[in-house]
Amino acid sequence: MGSLLWLISLSSLALKSALGGDVCVSGHDSGPVFEEQPTSLVYPEGLSQGKVTLSCQARASPAATYRWRVNGTEVQVGMESRYALVAGNLVINSPQPARDAGSYQCLAVNRCGAIVSRAANIKFGCEPPRLPPDARSPQTAYEGVGTFLACQPPTHYPALSYRWFLNEFPSFIQPEDGRWFVSQVTGNLYLAKAEPNDTGSYFCFTTINMEISTKSTFKSMHLTTRRYQDHDKETVLSLFSHGIEEHIWPSVQNAMSSPLSLGFTLGLGITGYLLASGLGALVLVSGWAGLVYYCCHKLYTEFVRDKLQTDMQDIVASYMSQPDDGFWVAETAGEGKVVGMVAVVAKKNGAERYGELFRMNISPSMRRVGLGSRLTQTVLDFCKQRGMTKVVLETSSSQTAGIALYQKMGFKH
């Protein structure tokens, strides 16, 4: 498995500077929480001027920084002049269907965490109905009686909200002035008292509200790290097993792509071809791949089985009975769901005391939000407090994400 040994020297642990002072101070700082999230909208196709604003505001201490993604790719706000970031809001000038249609998400980040907003879709619709000027003639309105313009929205979009603008986008009619009323049921524009200067071209502007996606895409990073408790056992064991089993495929790929193995595979293919035919080659090569998969699978599942019967059988006894050992879980603040874990065991080498980090595992749904750094930090703080000089950990070279994290946290190879 090609284990590597990673070391960190706590005495020279200039962690603050290594992380740019990016350490969340519990009780003082707080992670971002959305106050405003973007909503989906339909932009009238054919409008050459104009702009779209997607809202994003988050409460956070220290203040959050914002990034945007379209279809999962980062929006290059600084690079393209048609984008502007106003506070957290993304403004797109002169939006065009070919470039700007897509699913947008806002990311709010501070040193305590990151949150991802719901997805808001920008779609381009046909130009809203332009009513001929004679569709409404000047008329005398009596108290409570007025005129109205029908919006005739496109029927295939659900849950529209309606606004009207007069002559030019985006000079929206403000219903607040009392003379106007826009029905959010039909989209119709009602005018209580028509005046001669109301003559003009009226446009109905429709917006889709797709609140449905809110729940599934909202990821809150309000996590607490705490000591393991007995009632966490089931979740922790399942997190552990799944985390280890995830390594099966990467290790099969690793094994199959080594030069020796590639040579062997090629040799088998040629032998099979010479002995039988193309089918013979296929049978031998897939038999070989199957064998590699079987071995890797066995190796990891046996590792899991072995650990479930030893240290993970009684986590409290294995990791929490000595004052210098520890086992922590990270749980989501709202639901109290355990989504990550880490353990440390104190070791001795002559007079030197150091900690060994074990069982780092993060639920797949919570990766890439800085949880790994936080769990590692918990261990580093703990070991430092107890006067240990370094923390070591073993990892396999196929765990590239883990290695990148540990390097970022100051571990040396």
Ligand X SMILES: *[C@@H]1O[C@H](CO)[C@@H](O)[C@H](O)[C@H]1NC(C)=O
Question: Which of residues 195 and 306 has its CB atom nearest to ligand X in the complex?
Answer: 195
Shortest Cβ 103–ligand X spacing (Å): 6
Per CB under 6 A, 74 contacts ligand X: no
Shortest Cβ 101–ligand X spacing (Å): 5
Shortest Cβ 102–ligand X spacing (Å): 3
Shortest Cβ 52–ligand X spacing (Å): 13
Question: Which of residues 13 and 173 has its CB atom nearest to ligand X in the complex?
Answer: 173
What's the CA gap between 105 and 36, in Å, rounded?
Answer: 12
How many residues belong to the chain? 413
Question: Which of residues 90 and 223 has its CB atom nearest to ligand X in the complex?
Answer: 90
Whether cis (ω within 30° of 0) applies to the bond prior to 364 is no
Q: For residue 29, give the nearest of 7, 60, 2 by alpha carbon.
A: 60
CA–CA–CA angle 387, 391, 396 (5° rounding): 170
Tracing tokens 């997190």 back to the chain, one arrives at 239
Question: Which of residues 102 and 269 has its CB atom nearest to ligand X in the complex?
Answer: 102
Burial class (CB in 10 A: 0-12, 13-18, 19+), 42: buried
What's the CA gap between 203 and 201, in Å, rounded?
Answer: 7
The β-bridge relationship of strands 390-396 and 352-362 is: parallel
Alpha helices (H) in 258-357, listed in sequence order: 259-275, 278-309, 315-319
CB 55 within 8 A of CB 36: yes
Question: Which of residues 76 and 400 has its CB atom nearest to ligand X in the complex?
Answer: 76
Shortest Cβ 248–ligand X spacing (Å): 32
Of 13, 41, 58, 70, the one binding ligand X (CB under 6 A) is 70
Burial per residue of 134-160, b for 16 or more beta-carbon CB atoms within 10 angstroms, e otherwise: eebeeeeeeeeebbebebebeeeeeeb
Q: What interhelical angle do 248-257 and 278-309 show, nearest 10? A: 140
| Stretch 84-113 residues interacting with ligand X (CB under 6 A) | 101-102
With CB under 6 A as the rule, give the number of residues binding ligand X: 6
Question: Which of residues 3 and 137 has its CB atom nearest to ligand X in the complex?
Answer: 137
Per CB under 6 A, 195 contacts ligand X: yes
Torsion over CA: 282, 284, 287, 288 (sign)? negative
What's the CA gap between 87 and 53, in Å, rounded?
Answer: 11
Shortest Cβ 70–ligand X spacing (Å): 5
Shortest Cβ 216–ligand X spacing (Å): 18
Question: Which of residues 195 and 246 has its CB atom nearest to ligand X in the complex?
Answer: 195
What's the CA gap between 333 and 184, in Å, rounded?
Answer: 37
Question: Which of residues 83 and 181 has its CB atom nearest to ligand X in the complex?
Answer: 83
Q: For residue 410, give the nearest of 16, 64, 77 by alpha carbon.
A: 16
Question: Which of residues 124 and 382 has its CB atom nearest to ligand X in the complex?
Answer: 124
Shortest Cβ 166–ligand X spacing (Å): 8
Q: For residue 410, give the nearest of 383, 382, 390 by alpha carbon.
A: 390
The residues, any chain, with a CB within 8 Å of residue 215's CB and separated by 6 or more, are none
Per CB under 6 A, 197 contacts ligand X: yes
Question: Which of residues 155 and 197 has its CB atom nearest to ligand X in the complex?
Answer: 197
Shortest Cβ 158–ligand X spacing (Å): 18
Residue closest to ligand X when measured from CB atoms = 102
Of 71, 201, 224, 258, the one binding ligand X (CB under 6 A) is 71
Alpha helices (H) in 26-128, listed in sequence order: 97-100
Shortest Cβ 191–ligand X spacing (Å): 12
Q: Which residues bind ligand X (CB under 6 A)?
A: 70-71, 101-102, 195, 197
